[in-house]
Amino acid sequence: MDNKYDILIIGGGTSGVAAGIQAARLGAKTIIVEETPWLGGMITSAAVSAFDGNKYALGGGIFGELRKKIEDYYGGADKTFTGWISLTCFEPKKGKDFLHEIANAEKNLTFLFERKLVKVLKNGDKIIGAVVKDTNDAELEIKADITIEATEYGDVLALADVPYRLGRDSKADTLEPHAPELADGEVQDMTFCAILKKYPGKAPAVPEPKNYNPELFINSTAVDSNTTDEKYLNHKLHDWNSFISYAALPNDKYLLNWPFRSNDYPTTLEIYEDISSRPEHFRKAKELTLAYVHYMQTKLGHPEWGLATDEFPTEDNLPFIPYVRESRRVKGVRLMVEEDVVPAEGSFRPPLQRDGIAVGDYFLDHHHSAAFRAPGERLEENLPANAPFQIPLGCLIPAETEGLVVAEKSISVTHIVNGCSRLQPVSMLIGQAAGALAAIAVAKGINPREVEVEAVQNVLLKAGCQLFPYKDLWNTHPAFEAVQHLALKGIYVDSDTFEFDPEKIVTPEEAEGWQQLYGVNFIPLAGLTRAEAAIMAYESIK
């Protein structure tokens, strides 16, 4: 096979597949190298098939294309609202089928499955490719003008000696009010999820695993609890119906990814720093998940629920990989901190990111099994309430290394911000931006850091990606691009609904505010709808 490409993407997960599709659509000769047989990472190979956040109009771009295919397949958006955790729940295998369908349509995109990263190739401070190996340990060298880091753990960063963060950051380092005083090695738990199915009668029994300890799961639900003191538990105590409807999937299936005393696996730095340790940790994480399914069938009294056998072509019917929530995080041109996702003083929104390239709306969601230890012994993370946010372009660019664009969960954010930037839709939008950035850099023959942000933003807006979060302005609206461009220039609606409300009539006061904010004399806007005013205003200044 050809071993020279414009763009090499290491990892075909949420970011990697979106990056590959976008780069290929811009004409770049692109290859994705993926460890599993499937594209999609956490939403397919790791079975997290319930989209977290980016609801309604915030789901644009390639993520929106995928979501639309899923909704159409099941019969509409109301048919995918099967679990209360997400508006879009689906079977992982179906998500994989649709992602492969979208990706296979791109003639400039090549895939290598079941290949592991062995080495990153460098010329001085510039990354020029990588060496990967197949399941028979046969190695292949691939050269590329630009490499995109889209692995689950940030392995490209480690192998290329690119500076990164890992674990919790200190308050002195990030200046975040809610960061710990000292940095430590606490990372979010990973989870070996499972797709369960409700069988008529009894499901195939999951045998009691080795080292089975049902006491680990006491208080995971109210069915088996020894207290109702939720302050002591540090979480809400759900009954069976609330538990089993949490991540209910179509066709009587269930995503076992329960956050309370269930199958979150306590994660240590060893998983990142010693690749050879991963198989053993995966074995233990799988054992924990199987133990909880056994616990459901026995102690919780629901033998009708068992492992689905029609999702993954694996011997144990479990996913290919665990759900990895936190990765190595590159030290980038821009570090995204707590202040960037919480409302600014006097505003409902965080500070505007004029170089925004992706959006999200999920809360700061951290998974630490250590948070459920006894009071005084538990990990305490008192996180603030955030609001719909933007991801700046500088978070995708290493501070020093050339030839590299960073995506997935390895972008330049703090441990705190990782809690809302790590979710599947945000990661796909980040990947799409990474693909656009890399393809533009290749086409212009320049380094990614030299690409003008407007060039990336223009590509993304044409592709229907939101760069400023309005939950009611879909990318099919005639005013979509104008409204987005104006927001990036500082002209936006700041309300607690996070809506643009395009049919609302512009008042004289609002029109004057828009004019003063941008410092130009617009043509009269009062009396028009906001959508009409935005189109006219943008035409007058662009």
Closest CA to 427 of 42, 28, 118: 42
Could you tell me which residues come within 8 angstroms of residue 170 by beta carbon, excluding any fewer than 6 positions away? 179, 180, 181, 182, 183
Over the chain, what is the mean pLDDT?
96
CA gap 187, 167 in Å, rounded: 5
Average pLDDT value for residue range 183-205: 97
pLDDT of res. 448: 98
pLDDT at 539: 84
Phi/psi zone of residue 3: left (φ > 0), alpha (ψ -120 to 50 degrees), beta? Answer: alpha
Task: Determine the pLDDT at residue 518.
Answer: 59
Whole-Å CA distances, 535 to 468, 477, 522, 524: 16, 11, 12, 12
Read off the tokens for 211: 């080292």
Nearest Cα to 160, choosing from 115, 116, 126, 112? 126
At 522 the pLDDT is 55
Three-state DSSP at 97 gives helix
Q: What pLDDT shows up at residue 517?
A: 64
| Domains recognised in the chain with CATH numbers | 4-168+326-462 (3.50.50.60), 190-307 (no CATH), 480-541 (no CATH)
Q: What does the alpha-carbon distance between residue 188 and residue 417 come to, in Å, rounded to a whole number?
A: 12
Tell me how far apart the alpha carbons of residues 397 and 400 are, in angstroms, rounded to a whole number.
Answer: 9
In eight-state DSSP terms, residue 122 is E
- Residue 479 pLDDT: 97
Alpha carbon distance 513, 525 (integer Å): 11
Residues ≥6 apart with Cβ < 8 Å to 129: 8, 120, 121, 141, 142, 143, 144, 147
Residue 37 has pLDDT above 70, yes or no: yes
Can you tell me the mean pLDDT for 215-240? 97
Q: What is the pLDDT of residue 184?
A: 94
Position 523 pLDDT exceeds 90:
no
pLDDT higher than threshold 90 for residue 121:
yes
* Residue 100 confidence (pLDDT): 98
pLDDT confidence band for 89 (50 / 70 / 90): very high
Across the range 368-378, mean pLDDT stands at 93
Residue 510, pLDDT score: 82
Q: What is the pLDDT of residue 262?
A: 97
Q: Which of these ranges, 79-83, 151-155, 295-299, 525-529, has the smallest mean pLDDT?
A: 525-529
Whether the model clears a pTM of 0.85, i.e. scores above it, the answer is yes
pLDDT tens string 437-483: 999 999 999 999 999 999 999 999 999 999 999 999 999 999 999 99
**Which residues are paired to 5 by β-bridges?**
144
In the chain, the N- to C-terminal Cα span, in Å, equals 46
In percent, the amount of the chain with pLDDT more than 70 equals 98
What is the token pair recorded at 131?
Answer: 């060496």
Average pLDDT over residues 264-281: 95
Could you please report the per-residue DSSP string of 396-456?
A: GSBSS-BSEEE-GGGSSB-HHHHHHHSSHHHHHHHHHHHHHHHHHHHHHTS-GGGS-HHHH
How far is 58 from 67, CA to CA, in rounded Å? 12
Question: What's the pLDDT score for residue 521?
Answer: 61
Nearest to 469 by CA among 332, 333, 359: 359
What average pLDDT does this structure show over 205-231?
96
Q: 10 Å Cβ neighbour count for 449? A: 19
Q: CB neighbours of 331 closer than 8 A, spacing ≥ 6?
A: 162, 163, 164, 165, 398, 399, 412
Quote the pLDDT of residue 56.
95
- Of 422, 320, 371, give the one whose Cα is nearest residue 92: 320
Q: Which of 161-165, 201-205, 374-378 has the lowest mean pLDDT?
A: 374-378
Q: Say how far apart CA 103 and CA 106 lie, in whole Å.
A: 6
Instruction: Give Cα 440 to chain centroid, integer Å.
Output: 23
CA distance 442 to 28: 8
Per-residue pLDDT for 150 more than 70? Answer: yes
**How far is 104 from 101, CA to CA, in rounded Å?**
5
Q: Which of 295, 305, 298 is nearest to 200 (CA)?
A: 305
